[in-house]
């Protein structure tokens, strides 16, 4: 007999009790499917997806939508029916630490899948290409190649092009996407001084200078 539902952050209080996982409400499952569809099929970036959810007033029990929330959904194997254990450990009065991936425990098929495994794997492949471990020189080279191919640069283009690191990577390596633009000689119609350094996601679209 069920004792009830555990709310977010709650834990069972008796060691011998069993916790059975179940799917959430249909409205929340629809949001998860939408996120996967937009990321994989429509090639929208994680930040863009989060912004659209905020603009539409889509609820989130973790608070305001952020890129990290979208990223966590796209990498969570729960949505293909698997459950992972032992990902973190916490000794008494110690901080929680991340367990090496080799020590994780996976149980497959414990839940009905929310998205297909093929869609999930496509998302992982795309993500691995977006978070490539490249040198700064190679990052700039790929950004320059994208400029030459498209004739312009924008956050949207950077986000959707496989093989080009995500805008967040450029921010971490160069301080802002604007700084990376400057290093390859890209200025845009109005230059880049009008873009605040902290608003790196708002860099505009412009045509490259002609020779």
For 153-196, write each residue's pLDDT tens digit: 988 888 888 888 888 889 889 998 889 999 999 987 555 544 43
Helices 46-55 and 26-40: angle between axes, nearest 10 degrees:
140
Report the 10 Å Cβ neighbour count for 180. 26
- pLDDT-derived band at 38, boundaries 50, 70, 90: very high
53 within some domain: yes
Domain containing 118 equals 26-127
185 inside domain: yes
Please check whether residues 91 and 168 belong to one and the same domain. Answer: no
Q: Sorting pLDDT into bands at 50, 70 and 90, what band is 92?
A: low
Is 161 in the same domain as 186? Answer: yes
The alpha-helical segments, DSSP class H, found in the chain are: 26-40, 46-55, 67-74, 117-130, 136-150, 155-160, 167-174, 177-183
Q: Structure tokens of 178?
A: 């604007």
CB atoms within 10 A of CB 89: 11
Within a domain: 5: no
**How far apart, in whole angstroms, are the C-alpha atoms of residue 164 and residue 143?**
7
Nearest C-alpha neighbor of 79 from the set 144, 32, 126, 40:
32
Q: What is the pLDDT of residue 101?
A: 75
* Total domains, the chain: 2
**Whether 122 and 137 share a structural domain:** no
* pLDDT at residue 195, as a whole number: 41
Look at residue 15 and tell me if it is in a domain: no
Higher pLDDT, 172 or 8: 172
Q: What mean pLDDT, rounded, does the chain reach?
A: 82
Same domain, 80 and 171: no
| Coil/strand/helix, residue 198 | coil
Write down the pTM of the prediction.
0.67
SS3 144: helix
- 36-40, 44-48, 60-64, 171-175: segment of lowest average pLDDT: 60-64
Q: Examine the domain organization and report whether 96 and 113 are in the same domain.
A: yes
Quote the tokens at residue 200. Answer: 């790196």
Q: Does residue 11 form part of some domain? A: no
108/63 same-domain check: yes
Please indicate, yes or no, whether residues 122 and 73 belong to a single structural domain of this protein: yes
In the predicted structure, residue 67 carries a pLDDT above the cut 80:
yes
Report the distance separating Cα 92 and Cα 196, nearest Å.
Answer: 45
Residues 155 and 188 in one domain: yes
Rounded Cα distance, 31 and 65, in Å = 12
């Amino acid at each position: 007999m069920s004792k009830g539902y555990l709310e977010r952050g709650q834990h069972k209080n008796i060691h011998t009790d069993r916790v059975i996982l179940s799917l959430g409400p249909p409205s929340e499952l629809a949001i998860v499917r939408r996120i996967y569809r937009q990321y994989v099929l429509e090639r929208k970036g994680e930040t863009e997806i989060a912004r659209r959810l905020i603009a539409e007033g889509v609820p989130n029990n973790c608070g305001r939508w952020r890129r990290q929330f979208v990223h966590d959904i796209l990498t969570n194997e729960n949505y293909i029916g698997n459950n992972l254990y032992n990902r973190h450990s916490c000794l008494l009065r110690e901080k929680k630490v991340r367990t090496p991936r080799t020590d994780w425990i996976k149980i497959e098929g414990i839940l009905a899948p929310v998205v297909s495994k093929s869609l999930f794997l496509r998302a992982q492949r795309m993500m691995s290409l977006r978070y490539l471990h490249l040198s700064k020189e190679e990052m700039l080279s790929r950004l320059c190649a994208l400029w030459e191919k498209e004739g312009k640069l924008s956050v949207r283009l950077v986000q959707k092009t496989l093989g080009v690191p995500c805008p967040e990577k450029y921010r971490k390596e160069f301080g802002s996407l604007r700084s990376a633009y400057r290093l390859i000689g890209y200025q845009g119609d109005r230059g880049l001084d009008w873009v605040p350094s902290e608003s790196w996601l708002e860099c505009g679209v412009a045509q490259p200078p002609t020779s």
